[in-house]
Amino acid sequence: MRKQVSLKKMVVWAALICFVSVAGIALAEDSVTGTVIQTDDGFMLQLEDGSLIQVDQDLSAMAGKRVKVTGTLQEGDNAKTIIASDIVEITE
């Protein structure tokens, strides 16, 4: 009986650790900085190296401005997209 309780506790702890690990990964966000440009495909962030990352929001008010976008990066077949959770204009 005591071994069954210990085994159950181990299984519960293992499941909890796995859940917390996965939740931590899902909550991890990236930040990218660049200039907002509008293309035929929508709004993009042009990085200093010239590469483009598509932004999932309407950034027409920030077109031509330098911003820091925080969110989740997703790799697509043709481009990277950032699902933005925060966008801050850089005024330096």
Q: Please report, to the nearest 10 degrees, the dihedral formed by the alpha carbons of residues 41, 47, 53, 58 taken in order.
A: -60
Determine the structural domain holding residue 81 and report its residue range.
Answer: 30-89
- Give the total number of structural domains in the chain: 1
- pTM of whole model > 0.75? no
Question: What's the pLDDT score for residue 9?
Answer: 76
- Residue 60 inside a domain? The answer is yes
pLDDT digits (tens, 9 = 90+) for 73-89: 888 877 888 889 999 99
φ, ψ of residue 76 to 5 degrees: the values are -100, -175
Quick check: is 67 in a domain? yes
17 assigned to some structural domain: no
Say if 14 falls within a structural domain.
Answer: no
pLDDT tens digit string along 38-76? Answer: 999 889 999 999 999 999 899 999 999 999 999 998 888
Q: Is residue 23 part of a domain?
A: no
Is 15 a member of any domain?
no
Tell me the CATH number at 76.
2.40.50.500
The pLDDT value given to residue 4: 59
In a domain, 76, yes or no: yes
